[in-house]
């Protein structure tokens, strides 16, 4: 933290805390402060972390994970297909159905359920 005075560090902390950072806004607040001081985001984050005020932002992968559908096991997909076939009055041939992927089973179950 070369060239940082105690006053500079306190100003960074005050600018950050005044904006009531959350995990969703923290990264953008740090970037804006870094631009104001002509420093890197990492330098600002280090000051905030040492001051004990830094709120960890949600990582890109964590945000993307929220948007992805939950994984379903192949067995659950096959069971859903078997139920759909039986509900439609069809005969279940497990020799064939066991060869399906989970995605294929879910796709066919969706069509049969309509």
pLDDT of residue 77: 92
58 shares a domain with 13: yes
19 shares a domain with 58: yes
pLDDT of residue 3: 80
31 shares a domain with 60: yes
Q: What is the mean pLDDT of the chain?
A: 87
Average pLDDT over residues 25-39: 92
Kindly report the pTM of this predicted structure: 0.51
Range of the domain at 102: 74-113
Higher confidence at residue 99 or residue 24? 99
Angle subtended by helix axes 26-37 and 6-18, to nearest 10: 140
pLDDT of residue 6: 92
59 shares a domain with 109: no
Domain membership of residue 1 (yes or no) is: no
Q: In which band, very low, low, confident or very high, does the pLDDT at 64 lie, cut at 50, 70 and 90?
A: low
> How many structural domains does the chain have?
2
56 shares a domain with 38: yes
Higher confidence at residue 105 or residue 1? 105
Give the percent of the chain with pLDDT over 70.
88
Residues 59, 85 contacting (CB under 8 angstroms): no
53 shares a domain with 16: yes
10 shares a domain with 59: yes
10 shares a domain with 51: yes
Average pLDDT over residues 81-87: 92
């Amino acid at each position: 933290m070369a060239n940082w005075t105690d006053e500079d560090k306190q100003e960074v902390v005050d600018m950050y805390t005044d904006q009531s950072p959350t995990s969703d806004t923290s990264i953008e607040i740090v970037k804006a402060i870094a631009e104001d001081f002509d420093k890197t985001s990492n330098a600002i984050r280090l000051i905030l972390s040492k001051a004990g005020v830094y709120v960890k932002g949600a990582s890109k992968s964590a945000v993307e994970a929220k948007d992805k559908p939950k994984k379903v096991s192949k067995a659950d997909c096959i069971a859903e297909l078997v139920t759909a076939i039986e509900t439609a009055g069809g005969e279940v041939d497990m020799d064939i159905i066991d060869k399906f992927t989970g995605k294929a089973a879910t796709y066919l179950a969706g069509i049969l359920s309509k």
